[in-house]
Homo-oligomer: A and B are copies of this chain.
Amino acid sequence: MTKQELIENIKRKKSFLCIGLDTDLKKIPEHLKREDDPVFAFNKAIIDATADYCIAYKPNIAFYEYNGLKGLTSLYKTVDYIKKNYPDQFIIADAKRGDIGNTSEMYANAFLKEMDVDAITVAPYMGEDSVTPFLKYDGKWVILLALTSNKGAQDFQFQEDENGEWLFEKVLKISQKWGTDENMMYVVGATQEKMFGYIRKIVPEHFLLVPGIGAQGGSLEEVCKYGLNDCCGLIINSSRAIIYADRSEQFAVRAAEEAALIRDEMKNYLSQKGII
């Protein structure tokens, strides 16, 4: 998907919500556990109920690897289902991969060609040749970790160099030589809300993928206040607060209600910003 297509989807659907498919067998409603593939059944119901309110889905690969071969099958089926039925959805493999060049090439092929998702999250620690193999696929995106939403972000990402620059700043600056705002985005956690204004000065045009609202406690309002740019520039993820809003047979309806609430709030921010 091109940047222009993504922006058009955001304007048309008045939403920049991404729903995280962190599907955990232990947390899905009891009645689904009788299905052949309970994870896929859950995902399908969530997707059908929420597709009007979001512009992206983000399966978290760990939750599928957890279930071994069966998990990988559920993942492929989920991606195929979205692609076939909701081709305007941007699909992000939240995999946080990254390795030496010949190995990153294998990961890139696995996710961006064979699984054929639109984007993959990548860890920056190993530098340029660990990231660029993911940038060789037309219409596909690298979403590079910059400033993450977890407590451990403090351990290394805020390390200052001799000029007072933080490590995550260096990641933002140096990686801009590797790709463009047409094929790279950055992960910036919603819990880092105070940093959005600062980050926007470094990457004014890039889309930011923002996890951490909902269960992790970040504020949508604050993130939008400092993070929105003239083309929106934000994809905001919520996982647990939507998909586990309810554990009864009404789970999908309740997930849709939660997603609609966030969409309504997003619609206001897009309107205030003059984007729609």
A129 pairs with B106, CB closer than 8 A: no
In this assembly, does A161 line the interface, its C-beta being within 8 Å of a C-beta of chain B? yes
Whole-angstrom distance between the Cβ of A129 and the nearest chain B Cβ? 4
Q: How far is the CA of A145 from the CA of B125 in the complex (A)?
A: 8
Q: Which residues of B contact A110 (CB under 8 A)?
A: 62, 65-66, 68
Residues in B whose Cβ lies below 8 Å from that of A96: 97-99, 123, 126
Chain B residues with CB under 8 Å of A226's CB are none
Determine the residue in chain B with the shortest Cβ distance to A152: B127
Give A168's nearest chain B residue, CB to CB. Answer: B125
Q: Which residues of B contact A99 (CB under 8 A)?
A: 60, 62, 94, 96
A214 to chain B, nearest CB (A): 13
Cα–Cα, bound, A161→B106 (Å): 34
Tell me, rounded to whole Å, the shortest Cβ–Cβ distance linking A216 to chain B: 8
| A146 and chain B: residue at smallest CB distance | B125
CB of A73 within 8 Å of the partner chain: yes
Complex CA distance for A15 and B60, rounded to whole angstroms: 39
Chain B residues lying within 8 Å of A103, measured Cβ to Cβ, are 22, 60, 62-63
Q: Is the CB of B150 within 8 A of A101?
A: yes
CB closest residue in chain B, given A145: B125
A160 and B157 form a contact (CB under 8 A)? no
A156-B129 contact, Cβ under 8 Å, with A66-B106, A109-B66, A123-B123 = no
Render A152-186 as a binary contact track against B, CB cut-off 8 A, 1 for contact. Answer: 11111101111010010011001000000000000
19 additional contacts (CB under 8 A) given A68-B114, A167-B167: A60-B99, A65-B110, A66-B114, A69-B76, A96-B99, A96-B126, A100-B148, A100-B211, A123-B125, A125-B157, A126-B148, A126-B157, A129-B150, A129-B151, A131-B152, A159-B159, A159-B161, A161-B161, A162-B164
| Residues of A near any B CB (own CB < 8 A) | 22, 24, 60, 62-63, 65-66, 68-69, 72-73, 76, 94, 96-104, 106-107, 109-110, 114-115, 123-131, 145, 148-157, 159-162, 164, 167, 170-171, 174, 211, 216
